[in-house]
Structure formats: C-alpha cells, structure tokens
Amino acid sequence: MTSSDRYGPTRMKDVASAAGVSMTTVSLVLNDKAVGIPAETKQRVLDAAAALGYRPNALAANLRTRTSDTIGFVSDTIATTPYAGAMIQGAQDAAWKAGKLILTINTNGDPAVEAYALNALLGRQVEGIVYAAMYHQMIEVPAAAKEVPLVLLDARSADSEIPSVVPDERGGAYEATSHLISHGHKRIGFLKNTASVPAANERLEGYREALEANAIAFDGELVVAGDSGLAGGYAAAMALLVEPHRPTGLFCFNDAMAAGAARAAHELNLRIPDDLSLVGFDNLELVAPFTNPPLTTMQLPHYEMGVWAVEQLINRIDGEDFSVFHQRMQCPLVERASVGPPPTRT
C-alpha cells in the first residue's frame, strides 16, 4: 500500500515489503525451502501472500531455474480417430501427477507445420516431447525433436534409440484366437484388412501362432482380406460363410469389420453365437457393446499407453531408468456375447 502502488499483478517484491522481509525470505518460504526460518516469520509471509492474492510468475521462475515443468505433445491428427482421447487423457493424467503441464500441438500430418511446431515447443523450453500417432505406425522423427528427451506413442521409428509404446497386436490376436479355440472352435477364419500397417501383419501373426500352439493347421483359405470398414468385413465374411465347409468362428481385424461380418451372418440366417462366433478388435465404445449380440473384442490400451509414454518421458527427463525402450502394451479381452461353442454339426 505504501510505496509500490502500481498496475499489474502483485509481485514477490510486494509480498516481501508487506511482510516486512526480503524477497529471499519470501522465496524460501513459498518454495518450502525455509529450513531455519521461524514459524512466526513464515506465517507472516504466507499471510501477506494470501492477502495480496499473490501468484508466482512461473515464467520468471523458469527462466531463472532453466526448467519449465512443461512437456510437449505432438500428434499427427487428433480428431479423426475415436482413440485419441484416451491417449491424451492418459498422458495428461500422468503429467499432472508429476506436476507438469502439457503443451499440445497437432500437425495434421503437415511436415512444415511440424517443423514450426517443434520450434515453438522447444523455444518454450519444453523438457521433453511425446510424439503421438493416432494409429500404430512407423514414423520418421524430425531431428529437432531429438534435442530433448522424446518418446513415441502408438508409433515406432526406424531409429531404435527412441523409446516407444505400441499395443501388443500380436499378443492380442493370439488371445482372441485362443479364446475362440478354447470354446471348441477348430475352423477359425481371419478377416484381415488390406492395408499393410503393423497392426494388420502382427494380428495375422498372432492368429497363426495361436493356431499352431493348439495344433490346428493354418489354412490360407480361411484368411480373407477386405477394407477395414464395415463393408469390407461384410464382403470378406460373405466370401467365407457361403462356402460349404464354412468356419465356425471368425477373428476380425477390427470391430467395424466384425459388424460387417455380423451383417453377413444375419443375411445368411446364421445366428450369433449359435452358428457363428465373432471376435473383434478395438473395443469401440460406441459400437462393440451395441451390436446384436454385443461383441466380444480386444481392447486397445490407449489410456495406459498415454500414461506409459509420459512416465517414461519423465524418467528420462529426470535422468532415471533408461532400461525399457520399446513397450508393447497388452490388449485385454473384453468378453461380451458373440462367442459360444461351435454348432454341433457344421
């Protein structure tokens, strides 16, 4: 009130003079570094700060300490996929728990934007960067991103030095197929998608391995490709189901294809799961529970991957735990009602 009547928010200096102490003392108290300061002084500082509505300017502190408590989150596309939310949420929650804030940016896949965005992030002194793709893929990381600790989320890089986390597609497919087998199925088809993304190849592998592990011969005729949407699933399933010696169970590349398969089955008057069992992948929250019957499927661990990515990043920022580089996150089975024992007569 006395000397420093001025515009703008209260500064530490104001608190100091209000409490009748120096800035050093205020800083010490407010940052819990007040080792030997009497409780009485401490309280006076706290009171003054509260009375003046003091809020430290983090920018100034960060400039001085050369930290920022901020991490960058770069993603290629965020909206076009329903999965994005959970990943971001996981990342946020983990960051928050570590007292960091997240600066988000999305590049829409444009390399020019990407370069610019990285610069903006780095200029703001982010302590690390999470580089997220919105579906499991191989990406090339701009050199600039490597200036700070970096982890890849739902993506991998040819540069194996960059830590990454992706879903365990192979394991998920293995479990999906095994689930069908455990119900007694022996003729199990795989509806794969045509695109050559890691998910496609690895899910096919998992399918094969599960078959092998159970001494069921792999039959190339039982895997048929289609586009990864409902229409593709419909067509692929149709091709398989009209055959005389049709499969009794279908493992589908994703839930959309599974929904297509269900449609094909209905048209052929095959009941699910009595005549045909179905397992999907993705566990789309808006479709899997609502197919008829509700779809048994594999859950993509997006939230967990988001958490892992920033926890790992923070470990690296803190200089700890450089052990695990490439994490494959387990995809849990979500049992609903589309799987049963195979029909007694095929």
Partner DNA sequence: CTGTTAGCGCTTTCAC
Partner DNA sequence: GTGAAAGCGCTAACAG
Binding residues vs DNA (CB under 7 A): 8-9, 11-13, 20-25, 27-28, 30-31, 33, 36-38, 41, 56-57, 60-61, 63-66
Q: Which does residue 105 bind out of a second copy, DNA, none, counting CB within 5 to 8 angstroms by kind?
A: a second copy
Q: 164: which strand partners?
A: 152, 326
Binding of residue 120 to a second copy (CB under 8 A): yes
DSSP letter at 337 equals S
Determine the straight-line distance between the first and last CA of the chain, rounded to whole angstroms: 90
**Identity of the residue, 51 or 324, whose beta carbon is nearer to a second copy in the bound complex:** 51
Interface with a second copy in residues 224-283 (CB under 8 A): 230, 256, 259, 263
Dist. CA 327–CA 168, nearest whole Å: 8
Binding mask 293-312 for a second copy (x = CB under 8 A): ----------x---------
Distances (CA, A) of 291 to 226, 229, 257, 263, 334: 20, 15, 12, 10, 14
Phi, psi for residue 106 in degrees, rounded to 5: -130, 140
The one-character DSSP state at 288 is: G
User: Minimum distance between the CB of residue 176 and DNA, rounded to whole angstroms?
Assistant: 52
At closest approach, how far in Å is the CB of 81 from a second copy? 7
Question: Does residue 125 belong to the site contacting a second copy (CB under 8 A)?
Answer: yes
Structure tokens, 61: 């502190």
Among 46, 105, 115, 216, binds a second copy (CB under 8 A): 105
Pairing of strands 101-106, 70-75: parallel
Nearer to DNA by Cβ, of 256 and 317: the residue is 317
Residue pair 134/76 in contact by the 8 Å Cβ criterion = yes
Shorter beta-carbon distance to a second copy: residue 69 or 209: 69
What is the C-alpha separation between 211 and 239, in angstroms, rounded?
21
**Interacting residues toward a second copy by CB under 8 A:** 8, 55-60, 62-63, 66, 68, 70, 73, 77-82, 84-86, 88-90, 92-93, 96, 101-106, 108, 113, 117, 119-125, 230, 256, 259, 263, 284-287, 289-290, 292, 303
